Amino acid sequence: MTTDDLPRVRLMPKANARAIRHGFPWVYANELVTDRRTRALSPGSLAVLEDSTRVEMGVVAVNPASRIICRMLDRDPAAVIDRAWFAARIARALELRKRLYDQPFYRLIHAEADGLPGVVIDRFGDAAVIQPNAAWAEVLVEELAAALIEVTGVSTVLKNASGRTRVLEGLDDTSAVLRGVAPAAAVPVPMNGATYMADLTGGQKTGLFYDQRPNHGFAARLVAPGARVLDVFSHVGGFGLAMLAAGAGQALAVDGSAPALELAEAGADAGGMAERFAIRQGDAFDVMAALAAEGAQFDVVVCDPPAFAPNKQALDAGLRAYERVARLAAALVVPGGYLGLCSCSHAADLANFRAASARGIGKAGRRGQLLHTGFAGPDHPQLPQLAETAYLKALFFRL
């Protein structure tokens, strides 16, 4: 299909066309003329976006059922969205990752920031996991998978259909094997001197959170030989295993998921650190309170909870939860020890998260020096025009 065959959709006069021309990638439903023809477009349809004066602005993906009714794919109105187009975007992303990492374990495509709106692709050696979180990517996922294999040479491509975003796009939650054979066991992933075990078919998201890699590394720098460390909301042992690899004497991982903790134990075993690694399953708030009642103290405590404020409506409750995490965790840190607090809530910006963390530390009767503010690694680039891409924050304090 050429762009001459594509339907046209048009911005309303009140829409901020300048922001879109300057790189903002979305058009909201109240900014587009939604006549009967536009409403009849099937989710994931391609169209040429015009401003209110009918000047062409680029090729967009349209989903009349979504609040984000258009996603900018290419600012060239003549662009053809086919396998070659996908391959060019993937090749550009791959060039950056090869420069950054000496092994093929990273986020290869980070949605809008890599020019593929709503698409996440994580690479695990010869396997890749795609999250097509927008309707257009679901429609074209076969072309995307073919281009991915062509450019990277991976032999297995999986589709992960979990996540809140797909629900908002009206998509199902059915995952699939698109190419090759799904790994029969967890895939070992080397990072920061540790080995992590990624479950590509049954784990959270794509199987591993690559975004915390530099923050794992910073936490490891805080570890003295023989240190006692606590990794709360540990998932597969992200912070704990990195700190053990750096010389910690003992690490305790706390998480509510038994399968995640099993993978953490497998990672500790794969790294030859099993005898220094312990787990405790349960609600993180309850476990931290119990540890305090037991008089437990740690040289480094890191908390990496799920998104407590996934949207603006949840912001106040989310900030209270982050404050509570900080209060409970601070009580477990030895004097002169270190506390790491993380948030992956894009609705809670850095200033709000930092203030909530400081309140919690203060309510624990502690005083902290803020040493370092971390963000997602460079395989999770930010799109400056889209605040949602700056979702991850990590604060490290000396108490």
Distance CA 78, CA 231 (A): 51
**Angle, CA of 256, 260 and 263, to the nearest 5°:** 150
Cα–chain center distance at 145: 20
Please choose, from the candidates 63, 62, 128, the residue with its C-alpha nearest in 3D space to the C-alpha of residue 90. Answer: 128
Q: Which of 70, 303, 342, 344 is catalytic?
A: 344
DSSP H helices, the chain, are: 17-21, 36-39, 83-100, 135-139, 141-152, 164-168, 213-221, 238-245, 258-270, 284-293, 315-330, 350-363
Count the neighbouring beta carbons within 10 Å of the beta carbon of residue 247. 13
Please choose, from the candidates 388, 319, 397, the residue with its C-alpha nearest in 3D space to the C-alpha of residue 353. Answer: 319
**Which amino acid does the sequence have at 212?**
Q
Residue 66: which H helix or E strand, with range? Answer: none
Please choose, from the candidates 94, 10, 22, the residue with its C-alpha nearest in 3D space to the C-alpha of residue 54. Answer: 10
Residue whose token pair is 């090869």: 98
Residue whose token pair is 């989310």: 318
Please choose, from the candidates 215, 213, 239, the residue with its C-alpha nearest in 3D space to the C-alpha of residue 373. Answer: 215
Please choose, from the candidates 34, 80, 31, 89, the residue with its C-alpha nearest in 3D space to the C-alpha of residue 58. Answer: 80
Q: Are the C-beta atoms of residues 251 and 264 closer than 8 Å to each other?
A: no
Distance CA 197, CA 19 (A): 42
Q: Across-strand partners of 396?
A: 340, 372
Q: Are the C-beta atoms of residues 393 and 375 closer than 8 Å to each other?
A: yes
Both structure tokens of 220 = 């490891």
Q: Are the C-beta atoms of residues 127 and 183 closer than 8 Å to each other?
A: yes
DSSP 216: H
Q: In the annotation, is 344 catalytic?
A: yes
- The set of catalytic residues is 344
